[in-house]
């Protein structure tokens, strides 16, 4: 198939573009019309076969995850997703693969507002780079730098579940053998946290004006909290017992990556404004004077995590 036939296959089932997409796929570039008084938020992330996803991952699952991890970055800024571009590098492609890939994109973007507006195809070792863009009312971005002493630290859901799912995939050859036959709707629950992470897009937007700092848990909770502390020139203390954990032990969970929950700080007087949206927002610690992150056991002693967090490079 030619490049243009493949692009047609990728776009075959796309619904009509919304009015704020002045030009979608098919010209030299996409053109978006932002709402007045908005800022534009941009992020990009690459998934490489064998490093960020297992060989044999079916195209819809690959697409889903590639888009979700990017939407998570928008969520962490409090931005409303608008469009995304997909730069797909693959050794070869056919129409069926492309159709499944775009189905995965649609599944990951459902209800998020994000629409496929452009991209690029190139031949090479399988890797997917998604670039997402979203909008924010001017000056309302949730930065890493706004945490202040006394703020309460929250996480939007359990951590460790993605690591647990990755361990199933790594340790069970039968599960890996079944992976190519899975589709987005058929992924076993034990694998969903890793294969189909949920970007907390609605929560991110709800946290504007409430959270003082925000990040998504992609590198591991301790490492990501350390980013907030560095940028905010503060320290953090985490109560290990309060931490919502799933599938692994707490000292592993705090250094596990890929959870894509939001980790955010809230001044105490604004905690009553936190949204009631079905997510279990859990207070896990406090921002303090100083630098670095301390992990405290129930008996008040500081404990060390299992190992260092995930490095994307």
What are the residues binding a copy of itself (CB under 8 A)? 2-3, 6, 22-23, 26-34, 36, 38-52, 73-74, 76-77, 79, 83, 85-87, 89, 93, 117-125, 127, 129, 131-134, 136, 138-139, 141, 143-145, 214-216, 231, 311-313
Q: Which is nearer to a copy of itself, 136 or 266 (CB)?
A: 136
Q: How far is the CB of 212 from a copy of itself (least distance, A)?
A: 14
Q: Which is nearer to a copy of itself, 115 or 240 (CB)?
A: 115
DSSP 8-state code for residue 197:
P
Q: Which is nearer to a copy of itself, 187 or 211 (CB)?
A: 211
Q: Which is nearer to a copy of itself, 24 or 160 (CB)?
A: 24
- Closest to 7 in 3D by CA, of 114, 89, 119, 126: 119
Adjacent-strand bridge partners of 122: 89
The H-or-E segment that residue 178 falls in is: helix 173-178
d(CA 63, CA 73) in angstroms, rounded, equals 16
The H-or-E segment that residue 75 falls in is: helix 59-77
Q: How far is the CB of 153 from a copy of itself (least distance, A)?
A: 17
| C-alpha 312: how far from chain center | 14
Q: Which is nearer to a copy of itself, 182 or 229 (CB)?
A: 229
Instruction: Give the CA dihedral 59, 62, 65, 67, nearest 10 degrees.
Output: -70
Orientation angle between helical segments 59-77 and 95-109, nearest 10 degrees: 30
Phi first, then psi: what are they for 180, rounded to 5°? -60, -20
Q: How far is the CB of 42 from a copy of itself (least distance, A)?
A: 5
Q: How far is the CB of 80 from a copy of itself (least distance, A)?
A: 12
The H-or-E segment that residue 8 falls in is: helix 3-11
Residues 6+ apart with CB under 8 A from 224: 215, 216, 217, 218, 263, 309
Strands 80-90 and 115-123: parallel
Q: How far is the CB of 27 from a copy of itself (least distance, A)?
A: 5
Q: How far is the CB of 99 from a copy of itself (least distance, A)?
A: 16
Q: Which is nearer to a copy of itself, 30 or 164 (CB)?
A: 30
Q: How far is the CB of 121 from a copy of itself (least distance, A)?
A: 4
Q: Which is nearer to a copy of itself, 73 or 164 (CB)?
A: 73
Q: Which is nearer to a copy of itself, 42 or 298 (CB)?
A: 42
DSSP 8-state code for residue 198:
P
Q: How far is the CB of 122 from a copy of itself (least distance, A)?
A: 5
Buried b (16+ CB within 10 A) or exposed e, 133-153: bbbbbeeebbbbebbeeebbb
């Amino acid at each position: 198939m030619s490049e243009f036939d493949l692009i047609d296959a990728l776009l075959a089932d796309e619904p009509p573009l919304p009015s704020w997409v002045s030009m979608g796929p098919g010209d030299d570039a996409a053109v978006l019309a932002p709402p007045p008084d908005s800022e534009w938020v941009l992020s990009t992330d690459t998934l490489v076969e064998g490093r960020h996803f297992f060989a044999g991952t079916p195209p819809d699952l690959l697409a889903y995850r590639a888009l979700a991890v990017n939407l998570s970055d928008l969520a962490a800024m409090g931005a409303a997703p608008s469009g995304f571009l997909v730069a797909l590098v693959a050794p070869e492609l056919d129409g069926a693969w492309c159709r499944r890939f775009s189905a995965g994109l649609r599944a990951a973007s459902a209800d998020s507002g994000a629409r496929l507006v452009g991209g690029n195809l190139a031949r090479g070792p399988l890797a997917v780079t998604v670039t997402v863009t979203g909008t924010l009312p001017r000056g309302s971005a949730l930065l890493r730098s706004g945490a202040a002493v006394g703020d309460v630290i929250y996480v939007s859901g359990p951590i460790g579940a993605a690591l647990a799912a990755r361990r199933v995939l790594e340790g069970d050859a039968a599960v890996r053998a079944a992976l190519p036959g899975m589709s987005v709707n058929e992924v076993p629950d034990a694998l969903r946290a890793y294969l189909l992470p949920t970007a907390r897009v609605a929560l991110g937007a709800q946290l504007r004006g409430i959270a003082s700092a925000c990040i998504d848990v992609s590198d591991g909770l301790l490492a990501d909290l350390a980013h907030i502390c560095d940028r905010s020139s503060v320290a953090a203390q985490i109560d290990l017992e309060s931490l919502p954990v799933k599938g692994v032990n707490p000292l592993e969970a705090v250094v596990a990556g890929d959870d894509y929950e939001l980790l955010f700080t809230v001044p105490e007087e604004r905690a009553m404004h936190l949204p009631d949206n079905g997510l279990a927002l859990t207070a896990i610690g406090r921002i303090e004077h100083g630098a670095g992150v301390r992990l405290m056991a129930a008996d008040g002693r500081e404990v060390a995590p299992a190992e260092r967090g995930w490095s994307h490079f």
